[in-house]
Structure 1
Amino acid sequence: MHILSMVVYSIACLLGVTGNGLVIWIAGFKMKKTVNSIWFLNLAIADFIFTFFLPLSIVYTALGFHWPFGKLLCKLNSTIAFLNMFASVFLLTVISIDRCISVAFPVWSHNHRSPELAARIALGTWVLALLLSSPYLIFRDTVVNSRNVTSCYNNFALSDDYTSEATRRLWRMRHKVVIITRFLCGFLIPFMVILICYSVVAVKLKRRQLANSAKPYRIIIAVTVSFFLCYFPYHVFSLLEISKNSSSHEMKLALYIGIPLVSSLAFFNSCINPILYVFVGPDFKEKFRQSILSTFEGAFSEESVLGSLTSRRKSRSASEVEVPRV
């Protein structure tokens, strides 16, 4: 499991740093500032920061879970991992709300939707993600055992006394609160919002018979589905870890084997988005032949859906004007 984890971490680090770095360079410096480019730029920044710190986890695993980097980096490493998770799912939720508003109210969206507003909303998602990941700045700690091996772990009781019942009770209570909050705010509630928004989008597009307008949504849906598939097993095992049966021998064995696997899968999500931008973006084959820049412009395109919706709404409004009789 440890070797497999290191292999996955290394692949995620290599692909994540290069792929997300390319997205940041293109979306941040080479493309016109649009609402969509701001959304995907922030997604890439979250993934880039996380994968940039992955070598610390690789070294930690390679050294047999000995942490030589000090307490501050122990705290930062875990905080950045969960900052990435919260920022990613919040940005995906904001994107789904933005798309729902664009389809439900296309004319209003065309008049009020701006890159400046998107930048302020993106900043708000980062602040909220930082607040929810801040407990790891508090609880993450280091300890040296009798073999002079330093571990980086969650000290939920903020105490070195593990013998008293009061300390163990406080540890279990805080552990449950952190995991349940992470599951609700970082997975369940955002995905309920995402499912509702895309259900509204699907109904509106079907009612207006705008099949071609659904193409720009493929990349957003692909990114959302990949996040769900990568993080759902991780949250399941986190909930199993605080369940009543977690102390049984079978459950301990399942957690010992499963947690490294699902953690590796969750980490791998940070390098998959740039691949999806290229292979799922509209008109990939033609635009990829032209240049990498045009590939990302196609993936982040928003004019086609907004233009078709707005023009259809305006044409329908014009047709409804009563012609005076002669």
Structure 2
Amino acid sequence: AWKVCALGWLWATLNTAPYSLFRAVIEKEGEHKKKLCYHNFALFLSSNEMLERDCNVRQASTAISKTLLAFIIPLVIITGSYIVVTFKLREMGKRKRQSTRRFSEMNLNDVKESGEEYLSATKLRSSSTPPNTPAPPGIPKSFSRMVKILIAAFALIWAPYHIACMLEMMADAGNASRVVDKWLPGAATFSFLNPLLNPVLYAFSCPQFCVRIRQSLASVFEGLLQEELEGCKDPGNSNRI
């Protein structure tokens, strides 16, 4: 776990380093002059000959890397992780149902071989699974709904900001640039709602969220451990032991 956390912090540091490097207070031209803390890609340039080209390259690099590292790749990872967990839990539930069915059939065959009547065999088959046996683990509907809402909220809240950044990179001076200048601050402010909205979704969209997520993760880890043990018991894998 600590390796994953360290990788996440390293990822965040690399993604934010250019913005810390090129951050400066600039004066916005217009009817009302404003001072903004914004990107100044003209910093640390040794000559003015290629100023415009170097600034465009820096702006394009930061905009594309930000969209990839802070939006598209995290969205793919979050969605992919949820899909993998879902298939793991469904596969575990299917295996447990199959093992229960095989256990019932074995008990029924033993009863038939001992010469008992078919009626008693039917009763034993019906009672082979105790009534208090918990159902195979699955994903609760409330938990599944909450994860889908979180993914949708992340995509919908951050998409306008990254679209505005890409348009800012491609817009020339003129009407398009003025539209982006008006849209970008609002999109950036709207994106800040995502970290504020997540705790609300955790708390209200899925009652007993902590209990639910512990149960789901415990089921996944239990299935992985069971697969490892079965692989060790398999005679074909005796060379690994």
Matched-pair contact (CA < 8 Å) for 2:28–2:35: yes
Q: Does 1:129 align with 2:129?
A: no
**CA–CA distance in structure 1, aligned partners of residues 5 and 217 of structure 2:** 21
Q: Deviations over 1:183-241 (max 9, x none)?
A: 11112222223333333333344443567434544444433321111111111111111
Could you tell me the TM-score, scaled by structure 1's length? 0.47
Distance 1:265-1:211 versus aligned 2 partners, 3 A rule: farther
Could you tell me the TM-score, scaled by structure 2's length? 0.61
Q: How many residue pairs get matched?
A: 184
Aligned partner of residue 269 in structure 1, secondary structure: helix
Matched-pair contact (CA < 8 Å) for 2:41–2:59: yes
Aligned partner of residue 213 in structure 1, secondary structure: coil
**CA–CA distance in structure 2, aligned partners of residues 242 and 251 of structure 1:** 11
RMSD value over aligned CA atoms? 3.7
Distance 1:305-1:165 versus aligned 2 partners, 3 A rule: same
Matched-pair contact (CA < 8 Å) for 1:180–1:239: yes
User: Which residue in the other structure is 1:138 paired with?
Assistant: 21
**CA–CA distance in structure 2, aligned partners of residues 306 and 152 of structure 1:** 43
1:7-156 equivalences under 5 Å are: 118-143=1-26, 150-156=35-41
Structure that is richer in helix per residue: 1
Q: Which amino acid aligns with 2:172?
A: S
Give, in angstroms, the shift of residue 144 of structure 1.
5.9
Matched-pair contact (CA < 8 Å) for 1:205–1:214: no
**CA–CA distance in structure 2, aligned partners of residues 122 and 262 of structure 1:** 29
Distance 1:241-1:206 versus aligned 2 partners, 3 A rule: same
Deviates more, 1:177-186 or 1:188-197: 188-197
Q: Which amino acid aligns with 1:170?
A: D
Matched-pair contact (CA < 8 Å) for 1:157–1:167: yes
**CA–CA distance in structure 2, aligned partners of residues 151 and 165 of structure 1:** 26
Q: Aligned match of 1:198 in 76, 82, 90?
A: 82
Distance 1:259-1:203 versus aligned 2 partners, 3 A rule: same
**CA–CA distance in structure 1, aligned partners of residues 168 and 34 of structure 2:** 24
Distance 1:179-1:139 versus aligned 2 partners, 3 A rule: same
Distance 1:308-1:168 versus aligned 2 partners, 3 A rule: closer
Any stretches of 5+ residues in structure 2 without a counterpart? 95-135, 234-241
Matched-pair contact (CA < 8 Å) for 2:79–2:151: no
Q: Does 1:272 align with 2:182?
A: no
Aligned partner of residue 169 in structure 1, secondary structure: helix
**CA–CA distance in structure 1, aligned partners of residues 223 and 44 of structure 2:** 64
Aligned partner of residue 164 in structure 2, secondary structure: helix
> Structure with the greater relative contact order (CA < 8 A, sep ≥ 6): 1 or 2?
1
Give, in angstroms, the shift of residue 156 of structure 1.
0.7
Distance 1:128-1:145 versus aligned 2 partners, 3 A rule: closer
Q: Aligned match of 1:228 in 155, 164, 185?
A: 155
Q: Deviations over 1:236-276 (max 9, x none)?
A: 11111112xx1264422431332122112101112101111
Matched-pair contact (CA < 8 Å) for 1:278–1:299: no
Give, in angstroms, the shift of residue 139 of structure 1.
0.2
Aligned partner of residue 142 in structure 1, secondary structure: strand
Aligned partner of residue 192 in structure 2, secondary structure: helix
Distance 1:254-1:308 versus aligned 2 partners, 3 A rule: same
User: Which residue in the other structure is 2:70 paired with?
Assistant: 186
